[in-house]
């Protein structure tokens, strides 16, 4: 029996060792399975989170552009005026039974209507706090139609004496300068700009100057044909009509250059709305109103031409006045250089007089 127990004991020890090894292996398997389950859970949770994020992204609606109603309507009114002016100018006698002078007059008035809308849309957007990049770009596009294309067509219809290629080239150049002027204004003007002035002639002022001559032509025709006026005045009106065929294209070339120049022009509409103005500016405004009342439509070319050419003339005059003192500076320098020599000479003479005098010893 003892031998049997001795024989059986090692077997039990071996079985316990095997059992411990099996239990350890089972524990390792359990740990591995637990780790795999954790990793699977992490993968599942990560995939579910990513799906949720994608669903959220899909659920987000695209951003919609909101428009400011009043400023946008005013800007589009500017474009309507320009397109209406072009339609009237290119219409023939069958579609619109108007005389050419009447077409020019109405087209010029429509350009001035576009100027009024252009002055109001920016002010309305800033006053209501609805200024945006969309409004600025739309305003530039409408300005290109009303103040770029319509005046070019007006130039083509006004001048019948010059060669057609020349008038077409002047009109195209005028439109291109308007586009350059508008693009430069959009790039150089910031959001915090007070809009008190312009660098270069504004395109509405250039278009208004050309349109002013078109508006004045029917008035000149009535003066030249009316027997109530003296003969000299009728002769002057007739000569002005004949000269307008040459003057207006040349004027358009000069205005095109002034638009892309760097001359400073004031923003009259903004300056008169804000604050008080000096007495001389109020006097100029009263003088302009009196001229319009006295000369009717003939005063518009004078007023707009004054605004277009006043700033360049002033800047050129200032340059000449500032250059004149520079030429006189060398003479002043020479005189200042001569003064120390005279002082040194007088000091030497005083020293010699002291040495020769008997009291000096």
Angle at which helix 164-188 crosses helix 203-225, to 10 degrees, equals 140
Work out the mean pLDDT of the chain and round it to a whole number.
Answer: 76
At CA 199, angle to CA 195 and CA 201, rounded to 5?
A: 100
- Residues 281-329 have pLDDT tens digits of 667 677 767 766 677 778 888 888 988 999 999 988 888 888 765 554 4
The more confident residue out of 134 and 278 is 134
- Residues 232-242 have pLDDT tens digits of 888 988 998 88
Angle at which helix 133-144 crosses helix 100-127, to 10 degrees, equals 170
- Residues 48-87 have pLDDT tens digits of 555 556 555 555 555 555 567 888 999 999 999 999 999 9
Coil vs helix vs strand at 214: helix
Work out the percent of the chain whose per-residue pLDDT is above 90: 31
- The pLDDT value given to residue 117: 94
Which of the four pLDDT bands, split at 50, 70 and 90, describes residue 209?
very high
- The pLDDT value given to residue 332: 46
- The pLDDT value given to residue 35: 57
* Domain residue ranges of the chain, discontinuous segments joined by +: 69-275+289-310
150 vs 202: CA distance, rounded Å: 16
- The pLDDT value given to residue 94: 83
Contact between 106 and 88 under an 8 Å Cβ cutoff? The reply is: yes
Q: Tell me which CATH code domain 69-275+289-310 carries.
A: 1.20.120.1760
- The pLDDT value given to residue 14: 46
């Amino acid at each position: 029996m003892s031998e049997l127990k001795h024989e059986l004991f090692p077997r039990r020890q071996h079985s316990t060792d095997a059992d411990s090894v099996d239990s350890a292996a089972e524990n390792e398997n359990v740990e591995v399975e637990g780790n795999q389950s954790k990793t699977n859970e992490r993968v599942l949770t990560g995939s579910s989170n990513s799906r949720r994020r994608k669903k959220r992204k899909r659920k987000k609606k695209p951003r919609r552009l909101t428009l400011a109603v009043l400023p946008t309507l005013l800007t589009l009114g500017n474009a309507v005026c320009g397109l209406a002016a072009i339609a009237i100018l290119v219409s023939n006698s069958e579609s619109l039974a108007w005389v050419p002078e009447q077409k020019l007059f109405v087209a010029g008035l429509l350009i001035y209507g576009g100027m009024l809308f252009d002055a109001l849309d920016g002010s309305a957007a800033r006053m209501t706090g609805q200024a945006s990049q969309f409004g600025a770009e739309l305003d530039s596009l409408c300005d290109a139609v009303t103040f770029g294309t319509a005046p070019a067509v007006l130039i083509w219809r006004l001048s019948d004496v010059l060669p057609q290629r020349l008038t077409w080239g002047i009109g195209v150049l005028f439109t291109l300068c308007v586009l350059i002027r508008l693009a430069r204004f959009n790039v150089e003007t910031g959001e915090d700009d007070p809009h008190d002035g312009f660098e270069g002639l504004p395109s509405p002022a250039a278009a208004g100057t050309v349109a002013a001559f078109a508006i004045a032509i029917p008035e000149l025709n009535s003066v030249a044909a009316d027997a109530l006026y003296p003969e000299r005045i009728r002769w002057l009106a007739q000569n002005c009509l004949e000269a307008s065929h040459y003057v207006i294209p040349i004027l358009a070339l000069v205005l095109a250059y002034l638009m892309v120049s760097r001359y400073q022009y004031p923003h009259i509409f903004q300056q008169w709305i804000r604050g008080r103005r000096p007495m001389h500016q109020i006097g100029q405004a009263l003088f302009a109103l009196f001229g319009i009342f006295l000369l009717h439509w003939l005063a518009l070319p004078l007023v707009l031409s004054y605004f277009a050419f006043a700033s360049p003339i002033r800047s050129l005059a200032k340059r000449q006045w500032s250059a004149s003192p520079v030429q006189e500076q060398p003479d002043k320098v020479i005189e200042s250089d001569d003064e120390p020599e005279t002082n040194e000479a007088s000091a030497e003479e005083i020293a010699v007089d002291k040495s020769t005098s008997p009291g000096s010893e």
